[in-house]
Structure 1
């Protein structure tokens, strides 16, 4: 039985950060706007593939390479930079702020754990007035490994200073929850991106339609040592 965490670690891209405003920039580059999802899936795949091979490249480099591959090499460096500059102004999904407020009201602290850079995540939080909810930003760059290997979550735990059962990972990606579960964390998954939680992954402890639903369910989990 999962227990109420003392800290929630949020995934960032797609969980907190909406990629929708990148569509006009794809159009500016001559790419179909609906290719945003395909590009981001390739980006995640390539980052994970590097990790599996024992190598590492940071998010911006992998994002640029995935965009160049998607265009079959037709985009020049300036055009790629124009598309990726959109990351500096991406909005938060509508359910993010109320979910964070729910956790804060419950006395649960929050951090971010991202495949992206610390700088981009910090800028996103400040741009969307969410930074006052987040105690720290943790990037996979610190351990040169994309999620979901266990060492990424172990590093996050060491940075937070808590035991695995005291921390919950919240994401819209089932693979992220699977990795966190392997590291002993509680997990919360919102279905607004994937719709169905894949059967090949360890089930999440808390499932909700959006982040508010997940936050409310996490806040009502029994405390450790408390009868459920």
Structure 2
């Protein structure tokens, strides 16, 4: 963890969405629905992320749902129809929230901290998720990589998201379960809170986060202590 006492007081929070707030594990059932093994979900999702990163770095970013569709064709060697692919990809908007997500959001709300979403996911699925959870009363902004034409972990995207909250980047924290995302935020001059629910270990190749915890509530408490 970064040296907390020297960090500025928290002014705003940006949540990563997919895997941080959204539990995508139930999506495995949709693979079964189309006659594919549920174990295919992980390599498919990783391929989609990798290809999306590569396209963005090449200067031609593509919406993440399109990258997911292409990755499905590759991973299944063309064995699925467009309708079957859409059945899987559309499921993102129907995924549930992780149990620790709402308590963390409420903790920030109680402290009067403005919050937004910063995601590489599609806007439609993200807004469906936001409305279904009822968090639209807490979350004031949704910033997507596709809308801005720049992909995480490019510094510009973190800056755009911080500006959308009206909070200086140095006082805005990115909260995520992905160490690379927290690293990107730190390199862009933001604060970062990492939850170890997914990866367990924060690699020493990454810039340390300002707050770490086993769940999002612990991360929230750590970030709220900054600057005290």
Give the structure-2-normalised TM-score: 0.94
Which one of the candidate residues 14, 20, 40 is aligned to 2:19?
14
| 3-state SS in 2 of match to 1:21 | helix
The answer on 1:168 being equivalent to 2:173 is yes
Separation (CA, whole Å) in 1 of partners of 2:116 and 2:146: 16
CA contact (8 A) 1:8 1:110 kept: yes
**Structure-2 residue corresponding to 1:30:** 35
Q: Which residue of 2 aligns with 1:211?
A: 216
**1:4, 1:166 within 8 Å by CA — same for their partners in 2?**
yes
Aligned to 1:53: 58
Residue 77 of structure 1 deviates from its aligned partner by 0.3
1:7-156 paired onto structure 2 within 5 Å: 7-156=12-161
User: Using the alignment, how far apart are the partners of 1:18 and 1:114 within structure 2?
Assistant: 14
Say if 2:202 is the partner of 1:197. yes
Q: CA deviation at 1:123?
A: 0.9
The unaligned stretches of length 5 or more in structure 1 are: 223-227
Is it true that 1:3 corresponds to 2:5 in the alignment?
Answer: no
Aligned length: 223
**Is contact 1:21–1:86 with CA below 8 Å preserved after alignment?**
no
Q: In terms of mean alpha carbon deviation, does 156-165 or 90-99 score higher? A: 156-165
Shift of 1:82: 1.0
Provide the C-alpha distance between the structure 2 equivalents of 1:137 and 1:143, rounded to a whole number of angstroms. Answer: 11
- Quote how far apart the aligned CAs of 1:34 are: 2.1
- Looking at structure 1, the residues matched to 120 and 47 of structure 2 have their Cα atoms a distance apart, in angstroms, of 14
Partners in 1 of 2:111 and 2:176 — Cα distance? Answer: 19
Tell me how far apart the structure 2 counterparts of residues 77 and 119 of structure 1 sit (CA, whole Å).
19
Q: CA deviation at 1:61?
A: 0.5
Say which of 184, 187, 202 aligns to 2:189: 184
Residues 90 and 125, structure 2, Cα contact 8 Å, conserved in 1: no
Q: TM-score, normalised by structure 1?
A: 0.94
Whole-angstrom CA distance in 1 between matches of 2:40 and 2:209 = 29
| 1:26 partner SS | helix
2:74 partner SS: helix
Q: What CA distance in whole angstroms lies between the structure 2 residues aligned with 1:36 and 1:24?
A: 10
- Output the CA distance in 1 between the equivalents of 2:7 and 2:148: 28
Offset of residue 132 of structure 1 = 1.0
| Aligned mates of 2:114, 2:156 — CA distance in 1 | 22
**How many Å apart are 1:3 and its aligned residue?**
2.4
Alpha-carbon distance in structure 2 between the residues aligned to 1:124 and 1:67: 22
Q: Deviations over 1:114-141 (max 9, x none)?
A: 0012222111011112211101111112
1:30 is displaced (CA, Å) by 2.0
